[in-house]
Amino acid sequence: MSNFVPNNRQLREVLIFFFHSKETAAEAYRELQKVYGNAALSERTCRLVWFRRFKDGNFDVDDHPREGRPKTFENAKLEALLEEDSCQTQEELASELGVTRQAISKRLHWE
């Protein structure tokens, strides 16, 4: 079995194939899930983002720069805050880092 893990652009190109094959977004998602497992895009993303764009005639699958501040942060910043005061709530950490509480929760449970 191959260790190949597709990137998002490759997955989107596969979605174009399914779209032109007259498959539904749900069917495309199931096929992606069967082949790529957790590396597959979510059904919601397939349906609400990509198939909607394809229906509008937009087949551009490249990522484009977005305006606004990125919603990412470095683990080192989180670790420094926790070393400073390990009793901070996730809400306090999120506010300090400018991200959502869910982002903090994921990062804390990811380690």
Domains of the chain: 8-55 (1.10.10.1450), 75-110 (1.10.10.10)
pLDDT tens for 54-66 read 999 999 999 887 7
Choose among 13, 43, 11, 9: nearest CA to 25: 43
Tell me, what's the pLDDT at 30?
96
Amino acid of residue 111: E
pLDDT of residue 68 exceeding 80: no
- The pTM of the full predicted model, rounded to 2 decimals, is 0.59
Torsion of CA 41, 45, 47, 52, to 10 degrees: -120
